[in-house]
Amino acid sequence: MNKVLTISVAAYNAAAYIEKCLDSFTGLSVLDALDIIVVDDGSTDHTAQLVKQYCARYPGSIRLIQKENGGHGSTINASIPQAVGKYYKLVDSDDWVDAEGMQQLVGFLEKSDADLVVSDYSQWLEESKKLVPVITTPQACVYEKTLPYTDYAESIKIYLAGSTIKTELLQKNKIRVSEHCFYVDTEFVFYLMPIIHTVAFTEKSVYVYWIGRAGQSVAVEGCYRHLDDLEQVCKNVAAFTQAKRQDAAVEEAVKRAMLEKAADEAYHYFDLYMLFEDIRGLAPRRTAMQQFLKSNAPDVYAAMSRVNRGKRLSVYFNVCRLTNWCALPLFRLAHRVRKGNK
């Protein structure tokens, strides 16, 4: 049968948890409609051997690509050209999907023609053993209907966990992200935004995102270890956004949405610099990033002043930035006083 959905599963030394991921698909009544590509990114454990067992049991639905290590982005770049499903979705090997949500999604995708399909997702919090819903669909959205993307560009929170994309769109536009780099999901989302014209929403949560696993790159210490990657992705999306603001083919609503998101990403990275700097001496890197944004993405740099992370924190941040960080000691003092008063 024609495949409705390609699932790209990035796997690196995932033997301890990839079975849970794949098992969440194999029990589905819609398995025959799925094209599950596991991309083994040069694992040194027995990930590939485990996946080969699934390929043997489900030869029409699960296949394996083995390649040298190139990072998460390289698995995306490897799977997009090989995808045969009408739609394409990314799933990490340590995450899984909700059966009811995935079956509803596939049923909708069979008849949909939207470029982007957005679903809510859930976070599994390892420490508390709780499943917490994450709402990505706008409050006023209409479910299971193809709608103009420009009507929702500024209200949709696009996260890969909640996104399913038309495969033809990815292949036609030759979408590629950075390799040997963490956090490329941010790049992927930005590269999608200018080429999406229609969107649809599904009501049920599909993806379950595991939070709190040891060694995750999204943890604070993981961010510090991979700060070079954070910087590179921030630069890439800021420069890309600046360029697209000059592109007449991109709708104004999309340009505004990209600018807001790029400014928020830049704000996040400077927030990390402020967190780490007092004990790790990141001032030269922070100064270099600020100069890069001023020179290569001035619109993004200016828009950072409008990022809302709470009025008090935003004021502190902008005072620090506009005084070339001379006010940072005051920021730290105010932060310690505020924590002491709680």
pLDDT tens-digit series, residues 31-58? 999 999 999 999 999 999 999 999 999 9
3-state secondary structure 298-316: HHHHHHHHHCCCCHHHHHH
Q: Residue 313: phi, psi to the nearest 5?
A: -65, -40
Q: What is the pLDDT of residue 173?
A: 97
> CA-to-CA distance for 229 and 182, rounded, in angstroms?
6
In percent, the amount of the chain with pLDDT more than 70 equals 89
How does DSSP classify residue 32?
Answer: G
Reported as type and span, the H/E element at residue 38 is: strand 34-41
What is the spatial order of strands in the sheet that 116-118 belongs to?
Answer: 62-67, 34-41, 5-11, 87-92, 163-166, 116-118, 198-201, 147-148
Contact call for residues 88 and 12 (beta carbons, < 8 A): no
Alpha-carbon distance of 74 to 70, in angstroms, equals 5
H-run or E-run covering 51: helix 47-57
Tracing tokens 């998101």 back to the chain, one arrives at 261
How far apart are the C-alpha atoms of 271 and 313, rounded to whole Å?
10
What pLDDT is stored for residue 217 in this prediction? 47
Question: What's the residue count for the chain?
Answer: 342
DSSP state of 231: H
Q: What is the mean pLDDT of residues 166-179?
A: 97
β-bridge partners, 40: 11, 66
pTM of this structure = 0.90
User: What is the bridge-based pairing of β-strands 116-118 and 163-166?
Assistant: antiparallel
Can you say whether residue 83 is alpha, beta or left, with left for phi > 0 and alpha for psi between -120 and 50 degrees? beta
pLDDT value, residue 30? 97
CB count, 10 Å around CB of 340? Answer: 7
pLDDT at residue 167 tops 90? yes
Q: In the predicted model, is pLDDT for residue 216 greater than 60? A: no
Is residue 115 a contact partner of residue 149, using CB atoms and an 8 Å limit? yes
Q: What is the DSSP letter of 204?
A: S
User: How far, in whole angstroms, is CA 152 from its chain's centroid?
Assistant: 18
Instruction: Give percent of the chain above pLDDT 90.
Output: 68
Nearest-angstrom CA–CA distance, 27 and 31: 7
Tokens of 20: 């849970």
Residue 342 has pLDDT above 70, yes or no: no
Is the distance from CB of 257 to CB of 189 less than 8 angstroms?
A: no
Q: What pLDDT shows up at residue 310? A: 56
The secondary structure element, H or E, covering residue 88 is strand 87-92
pLDDT-derived band at 136 (thresholds 50, 70, 90) equals: confident
Q: What is the pLDDT of residue 103?
A: 96
Distances (CA, A) of 320 to 205, 290, 316, 324: 40, 12, 6, 6
- Of 172, 113, 117, which Cα lies nearest the Cα of 143? 117
User: 158 and 118 in contact (C-beta within 8 Å)?
Assistant: yes
What does the pLDDT read at residue 332?
65
Joined together, the tokens standing for residue 101 give: 């949500």
Residue 271 pLDDT greater than 90, yes or no: no
Are 14 and 47 in contact, with CB atoms under 8 Å apart?
yes
